[in-house]
Structure 1
Amino acid sequence: MLTRRRFLRYAAVAPVALSPAVWSASPSVPQISARAMTIHKRALIFDGHVHALDREFYHGGSMGTQTTVGQWDLPRAREGGVGAFFLSVFTPEEYYPARFETKQALRRIDHALRQLEMNRDHVELALNSADIQRIRAKGKMAAVLDLEGSYDLDGDLGVLRELYALGLRSAQLSAHNWNQNYADACCSPPKSNGLNDHGRDVIREMNRLGMVINVSHSSDETISQAIDVSDVPVVATHHGLRTVNNIPRNMPDILLKKLAAKGGIFGFQIGSEFAYPKEYDWLTAQRKKTFWDTASIPDRVKGKTIYEVDELVAPQFPMLGAQVPESVMMKVDDWVAVVDKAIELVGEDHVAIGTDFDGGPTLARGMRDVRDLPMITDAMLRRGYSEERIDKFWGGNLLRVFGQVTHASKTIAS
Structure 2
Amino acid sequence: MMRTALLRSAIVLALACAATAAAQPPEAARRLAQDAVIVDTHIDAPGILVGDWADLGQAVPGREFDYPRAREGGLDVAFMAIYTSAARDEDGSARQVAHQQIDAVEALAARHPDRFALLTSPGDVERLRAGGRVLLALGMENGGPIGDDLAELERFHQRGVRYITLAHSGNNRIADSSYTLEKRWNGLSPFGREVIAEMNRLGIMVDVSHISDAATAQAVELSRVPVIASHSALRHFTPDFERNLSDELAKAIAAKGGVIQIPFGNAFVNPQAAANTQAYFRAIGEFDRRNNERAAAGEPLEDRRAFVAKWDAEHPSPPTAIDAVLDQIDHAVKLVGIDHAGIGSDFDGVDGNLPEGLKSVADFPNFIAGLQARGYADTDIRKILGGNFLRVWAEIEAGAER
Q: Same fold (TM over 0.5)?
A: yes
Q: Deviations over 1:222-255 (max 9, x none)?
A: 1111111111110000011111102111110000
| Aligned residue in 2 for 1:398 | 389
Comparing 69-78 with 215-224, greater Cα deviation is found at 69-78
Q: Deviations over 1:330-370 (max 9, x none)?
A: 21123201210111111000000000000006221244322
Distance 1:79 1:120, change over 3 A: same
Distance 1:278 1:293, change over 3 A: closer
* 1:102 Cα offset (Å): 1.3
| Pairing partner for 2:335 from 345, 350, 356 | 345
If you compute each CA radius of gyration, which structure gives the higher value, 1 or 2?
2
| Pairing partner for 1:180 from 160, 172, 176 | 172
Q: Are residues 1:382 and 2:373 paired? A: yes
| Pairing partner for 1:257 from 245, 251, 259 | 251
Which AA in structure 2 matches 1:160?
Answer: L
Paired positions, count = 363
CA distance in 1, matches of 2:154, 2:246: 32
CA distance in 1, matches of 2:345, 2:67: 15
| Aligned residue in 1 for 2:83 | 90
- Structure 1 residues 28-47: aligned runs within 5 Å: 30-47=23-40
Any conservation in 2 of the 1:244–1:275 contact (CA below 8 Å)? yes
Any conservation in 2 of the 1:53–1:63 contact (CA below 8 Å)? no
Q: Are residues 1:50 and 2:43 paired? A: yes
Which AA in structure 1 matches 2:344?
Answer: G
| Aligned residue in 2 for 1:106 | 99
Distance 1:229 1:368, change over 3 A: closer
CA distance in 2, matches of 1:28, 1:93: 43
Distance 1:231 1:145, change over 3 A: same
* More relative contact order, 1 or 2 (CA 8 Å, 6+ apart): 1
| Aligned residue in 2 for 1:267 | 261
Q: Are residues 1:213 and 2:203 paired? A: no
CA distance in 1, matches of 2:53, 2:77: 23
So what's the TM-score if we normalise by structure 2? 0.84
CA distance in 1, matches of 2:278, 2:341: 33
* 1:395 Cα offset (Å): 0.4
CA distance in 1, matches of 2:155, 2:355: 39
State the SS of the aligned residue for 1:363: coil
Distance 1:170 1:288, change over 3 A: closer
* 1:268 Cα offset (Å): 0.5
Any conservation in 2 of the 1:271–1:355 contact (CA below 8 Å)? yes
CA distance in 1, matches of 2:328, 2:30: 22
State the SS of the aligned residue for 1:239: coil
Gaps of 5+ in 2: 1-18, 296-303
Which AA in structure 1 matches 2:320?
Answer: M
Q: Are residues 1:162 and 2:155 paired? A: yes
- Structure 1 residues 275-294: aligned runs within 5 Å: 275-280=269-274, 284=276, 289-290=279-280, 293-294=283-284
Comparing 65-74 with 377-386, greater Cα deviation is found at 65-74
CA distance in 1, matches of 2:258, 2:278: 35
Percent of aligned pairs sharing the same letter:
31
* 1:278 Cα offset (Å): 4.2
Which AA in structure 1 matches 2:228?
Answer: V
Gaps of 5+ in 1: 1-26, 304-311
- Structure 1 residues 3-152: aligned runs within 5 Å: 30-152=23-145
Any conservation in 2 of the 1:93–1:297 contact (CA below 8 Å)? no
Which AA in structure 1 matches 2:331?
Answer: K
CA distance in 1, matches of 2:87, 2:202: 29
Any conservation in 1 of the 2:86–2:172 contact (CA below 8 Å)? no
Q: Are residues 1:332 and 2:322 paired? A: yes
Any conservation in 1 of the 2:179–2:278 contact (CA below 8 Å)? no
Q: Deviations over 1:26-46 (max 9, x none)?
A: x96732111111222211110
Comparing 107-116 with 210-219, greater Cα deviation is found at 107-116
Distance 1:164 1:288, change over 3 A: closer
CA distance in 1, matches of 2:161, 2:231: 18
Q: How large is the Cα RMSD of the aligned pairs?
A: 2.5
| Aligned residue in 1 for 2:146 | 153
Distance 1:293 1:104, change over 3 A: farther
Any conservation in 1 of the 2:81–2:141 contact (CA below 8 Å)? yes
Q: Are residues 1:407 and 2:401 paired? A: no
State the SS of the aligned residue for 2:381: helix
So what's the TM-score if we normalise by structure 1? 0.82
* 1:329 Cα offset (Å): 2.1
* 1:100 Cα offset (Å): 1.0
